[in-house]
Amino acid sequence: MSLPLFLIPMLVGLITQGIKPFFNRKWYARLGDKGRKIPRYGGMPSAHTAFIFSLATTVGIVDGFTSGDFAIAAVLVVIVLDDALRMRIFLSRYGAALRRLINKLPENERNLFPYLESRLGHKPLEVIVGALIGVILTLLILFFFHHHLR
């Protein structure tokens, strides 16, 4: 395993996840609500998108943009984007519908059910910003540590 292919996307993903509180102050301000409003999924920027774009960028630069490895990374980009923009939106709708049904139950029975997220997916801007962060941070890291690549 080539170390940059593993470490750079991990670092970019962690950095992106770490800056979410600065973009999502409302969510983090509600920590007193038993922690239920902590953003688990969704929010600005998309850390999953930053991670996968970092992986694709790293693979493209290290192995070449015409390599089979880059083709695999590009397919993973499509899968992650589909998940972030489409699949989790459907799950959010199910969570919201189930929460409305649970709220119709008597008060003492509502606590039997876990809190259901109603915002799991990303808005297109969150994904675009995540992609930009992924590519830009990767290029910066590769620029500063280019002598360690091979």
Count of domains observed in the chain: 1
Q: Is the predicted pLDDT of residue 136 greater than 70, yes or no?
A: yes
What is the reported pTM?
Answer: 0.75
Q: Which domain holds residue 44?
A: 3-148
* pLDDT classification of 75: cutoffs 50, 70, 90: very high
Q: Is the predicted pLDDT of residue 66 greater than 60, yes or no?
A: yes
At 56 the pLDDT is 96
How far the first Cα of the chain sits from its last, in Å, is: 11
Residues found in the chain:
150
